[in-house]
Amino acid sequence: MSLTISGKTAIVTGAANGIGLAIGRHFVDKGANVVFADMDEARLVKELGPNDDSRNFRWFAGDLRQKLTVANLLSATIDAFDTVDILINASRQMVPGDPLDPDKDAVEMLLQQNLMTALRLSQAVAKRMIKQSEGRDPGPAGTIVNLSSIAARRSNPDLLGYSVSTAALEQMTRSLAVALAEYRIRVNAVAFGSVMSASLKDALKDNSGFRGEIEEHTPLGRIASPRELAETVQFLSSDGSRFMTGQVLTLDGGRTLLDPVGAPAH
């Protein structure tokens, strides 16, 4: 089973910090060409330095909720590396809110951020994958990996928008997997919980006892590192998972195996 991604070109969104940054760096270390995409240009420069044509990675700054930005990202990727083989939709946002307040727009906002951005970028990248595979010998044309959350399957009223948007992202994963299978493009997702994301780091700073709550509700008794998630994403991006599509892998240390009552949201 080959897990290599060396020589492949990947776009990673939400890549200025946290999990997206960890995935991008892991892919670079494994020999992939990587475009780190995020709207936070200052953070991209801080983490990655200025763009340099001699390196196997670039960064791209822009608001991917805008259709023109999506087109510009794809063009920048092709200009730098000629092809795009892997898309990692790691950009996501979690905003708590009152589920009974009709004046709050958290659900609509998070559907736009967590679902529609990933959908539009997946559609654009898939079209490019189809085009560049024309005339090639039969084989994989590309792979898309979406980052979801165990919140898609667990009820937390304060996280209604996040739960709905991640559940929709998982259904998008299954639907696109069927639609793109004939073009030899695979689409999978990772639903994670007990991983040290940027949002979890912030939550731990605000609540000193939160780590203990998470570990208590996690059978493996710990929080995973971003690298462990990156390795799972690598598996889904490689030929090691070449007969897998439309699947949502759960990476949570066993959290969803337990009774969710009283369990923390992360």
Q: Is residue 151 part of a domain?
A: yes
Q: Do 172 and 115 touch, CB atoms closer than 8 A?
A: yes
pLDDT exceeds cutoff 90 at 261:
no
pLDDT exceeds cutoff 90 at 36:
yes
Span 41-45, mean pLDDT?
A: 97
User: Which CATH number does the domain housing residue 59 bear?
Assistant: 3.40.50.720
Span 107-128, mean pLDDT?
A: 96
Q: Is residue 171 part of a domain?
A: yes
Spell out the residues 6+ positions from residue 117 whose beta carbon is closer than 8 angstroms to its own. 13, 64, 65, 89, 91
Q: Is residue 260 part of a domain?
A: no
34-46 core/surface letters (b: 16 or more CB in 10 A; e: else)? bbbbbbeeebbee
pLDDT of residue 259: 60
Q: What percent of the chain has pLDDT over 90?
A: 74
pLDDT exceeds cutoff 80 at 44:
yes
Q: Return the amino acid letter for 188.
A: N
The residue with greater pLDDT, 106 or 69, is 69
Band of residue 97 on the pLDDT scale cut at 50, 70, 90: confident
Q: What percent of the chain has pLDDT over 70?
A: 96
pLDDT of residue 136: 77
Span 49-68, mean pLDDT?
A: 96
Q: Is residue 149 part of a domain?
A: yes
pLDDT exceeds cutoff 60 at 265:
no
Residue 33 sits at the vertex; the CA angle it makes with 78 and 49, to the nearest 5 degrees, is: 100
Q: Is residue 1 part of a domain?
A: no
The residue with greater pLDDT, 194 or 188, is 188
Joined tokens for residue 54: 């001699």
Span 243-262, mean pLDDT?
A: 86
- The chain-wide mean pLDDT, for the chain, equals 92
pLDDT of residue 263: 56
Band of residue 204 on the pLDDT scale cut at 50, 70, 90: confident
Integer Cα distance of 85 and 32 in angstroms: 10
pLDDT exceeds cutoff 80 at 264:
no
Q: Do 170 and 182 touch, CB atoms closer than 8 A?
A: no
Domain count, the chain: 1
User: How far apart are the two ends of the chain, measured CA to CA in Å?
Assistant: 32
Spell out the residues 6+ positions from residue 8 whose beta carbon is closer than 8 angstroms to its own. 32, 33, 85, 86, 237
Span 25-43, mean pLDDT?
A: 98
Domain range holding 87? 9-254
Does the pTM surpass 0.85? The reply is yes
Integer Cα distance of 119 and 128 in angstroms: 14
pLDDT of residue 198: 77
**Which DSSP letter does residue 81 get?**
H
Q: Is residue 265 part of a domain?
A: no
Q: Is residue 263 part of a domain?
A: no
pLDDT of residue 205: 83
Q: Is residue 2 part of a domain?
A: no
pLDDT exceeds cutoff 60 at 178:
yes
